[in-house]
């Protein structure tokens, strides 16, 4: 009968731990998917859909569920990709498309017919207008996602490059300028060499 006690003890232990875990999973339950939240926090929130998902959050959910690779966000660029790869614990992958310079949309107001279609397309609600009135874009809030271009029936929306602001200017990396200049000098040097030959 000596084997009865260990069996009882372990059965009791298993039961207690089971109850504990059940309670813990109930009381410490986190709403949503914390991993997806983390990925979402890294994404640039341009909401452009270039990743093939209807916005950043759906892409974050897909990445967190290992359904899709980490390199599909074009506006996020390499920095975002590396950060996502890091928290997902996967190998970094190259981004196929080149990220473009930051842009914002601008409506040529005198051509706008006030159809309100662009308003419906904008993922961040940054277009103001009313039926049959000129529409305009609050450029400070525009993410440059280009989603408003396509629905516009008279093609009066342009993407313009954001002007370089003095207070946002930052020093370039030291090597680049030097490298360019050195390249130039090298070109000159080579040209001189050719002449003298």
Partner 1 sequence: MFDLWEKIKQTLPMGTSAGFTGGVVHSNQHKRTAGQAIIACPLPELLIHPVKQHIGDPCEPMVEVGERVLKGQMIAKAQGYISVPVHASTSGTVEKIEEHTIPHPSGLGLTSIFIKPDGLDEVDESLHPLPNYRSVDAAELRERIRNAGIAGLGGAVFPTFVKLVKDQKNPIETVILNGIECEPWLTCDHQLMLEKAHEIISGMDIILHLVGAEKGIIAIEDNKPDAVEMMQKTLQEMGLNEHVQVQVLPTRYPQGGEKQLIQALTGKEVPAGQLPMHIGVLSTNVGTSKAIYDAVCLGEPLTERVITVSGDAAAKPSNMLVRLGTSMHFLLEQCGVSSFEDIKVMHGGPMMGELLSQDDVPVVKGSNGILAMQKRSIMRAHFDEEPCIRCGDCGDVCPAGLMPNLLASHCKENQFERAEDYNLFDCIECGACSYVCPAHIPLVHYFRYGKGQVAQIQREKAFAEESRIRSEKRDARLAKELAEKEEKRRIAREKKEARAKALAEKEAAEKAVVDKDSAEQASAEQTDKPEVKADDKPAEDKA
The residue written with tokens 């409506």 in the block is 107
Cα–Cα distance, 48 to 81 (Å, whole number): 16
Residue in 122, 163, 75, 103 with CA at minimum distance from that of residue 136: 122
The residue written with tokens 């002007």 in the block is 163
126 makes contact with ligand SF4 (CB under 6 A): yes
The answer to whether residues 122 and 49 touch, using CB atoms and an 8 Å cutoff, is: no
124 makes contact with ligand SF4 (CB under 6 A): yes
3-state secondary structure of 13: helix
Q: 58 touches which of ligand SF4, partner 1, none (CB within 5 to 8 A by kind)?
A: none
Determine the length of the chain.
197
Q: 71 touches which of partner 1, ligand SF4, none (CB within 5 to 8 A by kind)?
A: none
| Smallest separation (angstroms) from ligand SF4 to the CB of 191 | 34
Between 55 and 92, CB nearer to ligand SF4? 55
The answer to whether residues 159 and 48 touch, using CB atoms and an 8 Å cutoff, is: no
Q: Which of residues 62, 70, 84, 145 is near ligand SF4 by CB under 6 A? A: 145
Cα–Cα distance, 37 to 52 (Å, whole number): 19
31 makes contact with partner 1 (CB under 8 A): no
Q: Which of residues 36, 39, 56, 84 is near ligand SF4 by CB under 6 A? A: 56
H or E segment and range at residue 39: helix 34-42
The residues binding ligand SF4 (CB under 6 A) are 43-44, 46-51, 53, 55-56, 59, 73-76, 105, 107, 112-118, 121-122, 124, 126-127, 129, 135, 137, 142-148, 151-154, 156-157
The residues binding partner 1 (CB under 8 A) are 40, 43-47, 55-57, 79, 122-126, 141, 143, 164, 166, 168-175, 178, 181-182
């Amino acid at each position: 009968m000596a084997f009865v006690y260990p069996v009882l003890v372990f059965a009791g232990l298993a039961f207690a731990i089971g109850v504990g875990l059940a309670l813990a999973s109930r009381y410490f339950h986190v709403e949503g998917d914390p991993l997806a939240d983390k990925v979402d926090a890294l994404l640039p929130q341009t909401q452009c859909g270039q990743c093939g998902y209807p916005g950043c959050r759906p892409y974050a959910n897909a990445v967190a569920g290992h359904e899709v690779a980490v390199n599909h966000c074009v506006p996020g660029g390499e920095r975002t990709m590396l950060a996502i790869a890091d928290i997902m614990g996967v190998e970094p992958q190259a981004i196929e498309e080149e990220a473009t310079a930051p842009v914002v949309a601008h409506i040529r107001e005198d051509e706008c017919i006030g159809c309100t279609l662009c308003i419906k397309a904008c993922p961040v609600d940054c277009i103001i207008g009313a039926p049959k009135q000129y529409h305009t874009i609050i450029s400070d809030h525009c993410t440059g996602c280009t989603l408003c271009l396509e629905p516009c029936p008279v093609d009066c929306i342009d993407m313009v490059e954001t002007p370089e602001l003095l207070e946002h200017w930052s020093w370039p990396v030291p090597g680049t300028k030097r490298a360019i200049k050195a390249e130039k000098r090298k070109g000159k040097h080579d040209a001189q060499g050719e002449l003298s030959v």
